[in-house]
Structure 1
Amino acid sequence: MAAQASPLQMRILSQLQTRFGGKHAVGQRLNEVDIAEWLGVSRTPVREVLRALERQGVLAYEPRRGFEILRSLDPDPGDAGDRSDLLDERVMREMALGTLKSVISERALLQRFAVPKGFLNSTLRRLMRDQLAEPSPGRGWVFADVGPEALKDGYRFRQIVEPAAILSDGYAVDSAAMARLDSDHEAAIAKIDAFDRRALFELDAQFHLAIAEGAGSRPLADAIRRQNNIRRVAEYMGFVRLDRIRQSMIEHRGIMAALLGGRRQQAATLMRLHLDVSAQETFSHLPEDLERIRSGGTLSEAPVSET
């Protein structure tokens, strides 16, 4: 934006960067009417911001079709990965403890975390991409509920839909993709002590999404993505023990073996058992894990084994 951009234009730009930043948004189309309604502002300042981005080569305009994103809206090439990861963890810690409730202004968030605006926007953008936060027009930000009750609701939902998905009509197994996923599980189990826990969680999330995608239902796959994102906050803080992660991946392999062998009824039964055990494990340790976080514990301090 030009140096003479108004505060309103800068706010609009910041919101656009948060919502549409990153390579994943390239190719999406922006409509000034929709953006104005979303932000609760008039169309004129929105149009001025979009035209400025067009002049910079970030957007391309096509009559009757609106603006297309040509390259990332993210203006912060100095976004250092380590500092961003640290802020992500701090925000997720607060979400896990339930201290980010109601609507919180961007100014309040900047004061709370004492970071440059660019770092905060990057974290908010990632949370919004994962449906864990969303802007409240003209007021601030609303964070998703990821507390114990939300986790319980998520497990109940998954216990219902994931086994049912496997038994649904027309369920299709992508054998090649499933075999690759199984191989990745085998490698992780063999060297689990050396794996970053967030990488282990991503492998877990890939498995559950692959199971959902076999049903050929986009709403179902989107719902599982949403549940994975809610769980990601808890897993990020180390709620699950390493020995349980290992056993969980062994259970995943059993489910995949049943699917690859055409034994869907067995796979559905194993999935239900897997989710039951995972829920029991999560909630049996939840109070002590939350207490560790309150006392300032970190992911690396989470217990790695049990007797």
Structure 2
Amino acid sequence: MLNSTPPSRLQRDLLPRATEYLRARQLAPGDRVTEQELCDHLQVSRTPVRAVLEELARQGILHHEPRRGFRVESIPAADATDFSEPNEVESLCFRLAGDRHREILPREVTEADLMRRYGVTRALLHTVLNQLAEIGMAERKPGHGWAFPPAFDHSARQESYALRLLIEPASILAEEFALQPGWIETMMQRNEAFLAAPWKETASIALFEMNAAFHEGLAEASGNRFFLSAIRQQSRLRRFSNYDWSFGADRVRASCLEHMDILARLEMGQRDVAAALLRRHLEQASTLSPVRLGT
């Protein structure tokens, strides 16, 4: 029996990301969804994820089978013009990442210092610090306090692009490359929706998530779990480093058109051309002003 307790604010904040994850995976009715895979994707514990799964079941997106878990019932289509604000966990992550980038936040801090500085509860702070620790952006000091690595500067950003330039084109050229059915069509529709909608600064989170789904989808299609793991880690790093979008509507349009060109070549079976276009897409993005990237 599903828990009738209404979801907490954190759990409500996780719902859009969970739904987007199900959509990005191109799951069909009857496909199984586990707590662990959502925990890994959302970077939270089982307790809030369990509540999210139960809420998705109440909404008819999932179907709960006692003692057998959750399966997909019906996933609603994406609305790329629904530009939701970041949830409280994301907002605090962005603030921490932004303050570290500007070197406003010292490299070593205590939890009490952070709670006073940002006016947050210890529970929320623990959630955020643990997420940052998962991607190497924070580490607990022996005995007391937390330490942050050097800010995600130009050098680190170039190293990130160097890794992506090795992995992402290779994903498309991999012998086992196979995209999920309907993935190209879905990504085309989402990029077209961004082109058609008036640009708003509040769309930066939705834009980033769409871009992450695009790049992770290509890595997943490679059939190489280590390619996918590496690109997902880069997405998490970029998610917390890209706390806003500073390039305006022109770069949004260029990015979407570049994605659509790659998708069109994949649809025609021209993987070598698609890989070359993806390489150029990443090379161009790497030359933009540091840090605030959503490509």
Q: What interval of TM-score do these two structures reach, taking the shorter chain for normalisation?
A: 0.5 to 0.7
Q: What amino acid is the match of 1:92?
A: A
Contact preservation (8 Å) 1:151, 1:230: no
**What is the number of residues matched between the two proteins?**
219
The Cα shift of 1:251 comes to 0.3
Q: 1:230 aligns with which of 237, 240, 244?
A: 237
1:207–1:102: structure 2 CA closer, same or farther, 3 Å change rule? same
1:122 aligns to what? 127
Contact preservation (8 Å) 1:175, 1:260: no
1:221 aligns to what? 228
1:249–1:120: structure 2 CA closer, same or farther, 3 Å change rule? same
Q: What amino acid is the match of 1:107?
A: A
More helix by share: 1
Q: 1:156 aligns with which of 149, 162, 169?
A: 162
Q: 2:143 aligns with which of 138, 144, 167?
A: 138
The Cα shift of 1:203 comes to 0.4
In 2: Cα distance, 1:209 partner to 1:218 partner: 11
CA RMSD of aligned residues (A): 3.2
Contact preservation (8 Å) 1:84, 1:123: yes
Q: What amino acid is the match of 1:91?
A: L
2:83 aligns to what? none
2:27 aligns to what? none
SS in 2 for 1:210: helix
SS in 2 for 1:249: helix
SS in 2 for 1:193: coil
SS in 2 for 1:282: coil
The Cα shift of 1:179 comes to 1.5
2:102 equivalent to 1:97: yes
> Which digits, 9 at most, give the CA deviation of each residue in 1:81-132, with x for residues without a partner?
8655543332121132245564433233223334322332232244345554
Contact preservation (8 Å) 1:26, 1:70: yes
Contact preservation (8 Å) 1:127, 1:133: yes
Deviating more after overlay: 237-246 vs 96-105: 96-105
TM-score normalised over the length of structure 2? 0.64
In 1: Cα distance, 2:87 partner to 2:176 partner: 44
2:216 equivalent to 1:209: yes
1:247 aligns to what? 254
1:34 aligns to what? none
TM-score normalised over the length of structure 1? 0.61
Deviating more after overlay: 212-221 vs 137-146: 137-146
The Cα shift of 1:263 comes to 0.5
Contact preservation (8 Å) 1:104, 1:142: yes
Q: What amino acid is the match of 1:205?
A: A
SS in 1 for 2:182: helix
> Which digits, 9 at most, give the CA deviation of each residue in 1:236-276, with x for residues without a partner?
23244331122111101111111121100000110011011
In 1: Cα distance, 2:219 partner to 2:46 partner: 32
1:71 aligns to what? 47
Contact preservation (8 Å) 1:209, 1:221: yes
1:136–1:260: structure 2 CA closer, same or farther, 3 Å change rule? farther
The Cα shift of 1:183 comes to 1.0
Q: 2:186 aligns with which of 171, 177, 180?
A: 180
Contact preservation (8 Å) 2:172, 2:275: yes
SS in 2 for 1:181: helix
**Structure with larger Rg:** 1
Contact preservation (8 Å) 1:255, 1:271: yes
2:199 aligns to what? 193
> Which digits, 9 at most, give the CA deviation of each residue in 1:189-225, with x for residues without a partner?
1115146111101101110101111111111111111
1:149–1:189: structure 2 CA closer, same or farther, 3 Å change rule? same
Structure number with higher relative contact order (C-alpha < 8 Å, ≥ 6 residues apart): 2
In 2: Cα distance, 1:163 partner to 1:27 partner: 29
Contact preservation (8 Å) 1:146, 1:233: no
2:266 aligns to what? 259
Q: What amino acid is the match of 1:138?
A: G
Contact preservation (8 Å) 2:176, 2:222: yes
